[in-house]
Amino acid sequence: MLETEPTARRILTVITVFTVLTLVVGNFLGTPILLSYVETGSMSPTLDAGDGFVAVPAALGGSIEEGDVVVFRAEELRGGGLTTHRIVGKTDHGYLTKGDANTFTDQDDDEPPVKRAQIVAEALQVNGNVVSIPHLGTAVHGVQTAVVGVQRRMAGLLGIRSLLGGQGLAYLFFAATIIWYIVGTWHTSSSQRTYERGRSRDSGVDARFVVASVAAVLVLSATAAMVVPAGSQEYGIVSADFESEKPTVVPAGQTRETAYPVRNSGVLPVLVHLEPASEGVEIRPRELVVSGRHRGEATLKIHAPAETGYYRRYVTEHRYLAVLPVPLIRELYGIHPWAPILVIDAVIAIPTYLFGVSVLGSQRLRDRTRKGKYSATNSARQFFRGRY
């Protein structure tokens, strides 16, 4: 009983930390990651202000139907940004949306019909009811405020602006992980000396847990490198009855070409698939391989309707780390856009875990200073010294 209660507390702590971090990271990246929450009461009584919900990524969900609650990138509502409302209808130009507590649709409030490419996630529903997590957003706001404060202080102290924003969050998370491991190892070593010798074999950190943690960090980093730069790119154009040198002003009924840049700021090459996500768009080529630290380019053709006015055009981009043969990624992409990501993550995680376990074994990493035995840090140092 004494061992079960601490274990239950640890599990609950891990779940809580994971939940809050998921929401905070998703907020920084501007797209929900498994969980999200509403900030206003526009969806009451389905979702009150601060309530959370399970956000199923649009790429994994099925077709969007009337009655679905979706998260979309609004153009006009509250100055734009992510909005969670219900689909109440569909037109030739897109979906009609409305908050459950609102009297009028978003389109009555000057929000254009929502295109499929604008929808980033769908709220999980069971038997037609949204799965609500009450008051989840309150904790997230507190954590996010603290994280922003830490980012600003660290950026000001070190004079490094890259510590701000989503990229800075990744740097801080990595640094916190390293510090956590060092402190954990030190704490384990210190506590070890206070235990009885008979219990020393059960202390320390399981090497498999350490290896699995490293593999998880690599998988998360790889997934972020493929998912964050991808998504839908919007092009707002004006169909005009006059000529203009502006690339966003296209004579009515005509087509204009523009360059679509594809940048790869990482080290590994990426395979990029480009798809038109709305009418009036053509893009060639549909597939690009961009080397690390390089830039590729496709040609985008945008057609303006015969009727003058403002129109939105979309291109959806999917990118994958080219750690697999390009033909294989292409085949997986034909099955589902997320299939290559899952396989690539497995290719990264499984060899990393197997290699780590083969090096460190399955024993616990602990500080043993007698009879020529070494701590986890010394063991790692001795391992590398013996090979280099």
* Look-up of token digits 């998703």: 26
241 pLDDT band, cuts 50/70/90, is very high
Helix (H) or strand (E) holding 249: strand 249-251
Domains of the chain in start order, with CATH, are 4-137 (2.10.109.10), 228-331 (2.60.40.10)
Range from 11-25, 44-58, 307-321 carrying the lowest mean pLDDT: 11-25
**Is pLDDT at 197 greater than 50 in this prediction?**
no
Separation CA 385–CA 388 (nearest Å): 5
> So what's the pLDDT on residue 10?
59
Distance, CA of 296 to chain centre: 23
pLDDT digit string, tens, across residues 128-145: 899 998 877 766 666 666
Picking from 44, 112, 54, the residue whose alpha carbon sits closest to that of residue 312 is 112
341 pLDDT band, cuts 50/70/90, is very high
CA contacts within 13 A on the Cβ side of 30: 14
**Is pLDDT at 63 greater than 80 in this prediction?**
yes
Sign of the torsion formed by the C-alpha atoms of 348, 352, 355 and 358: negative
Picking from 191, 150, 182, 137, the residue whose alpha carbon sits closest to that of residue 26 is 137
> So what's the pLDDT on residue 219?
86
pLDDT digit string, tens, across residues 269-296: 999 999 999 889 999 999 999 998 899 9
Contacts of 229 (CB under 8 A, 6+ apart): 263, 265, 317, 319
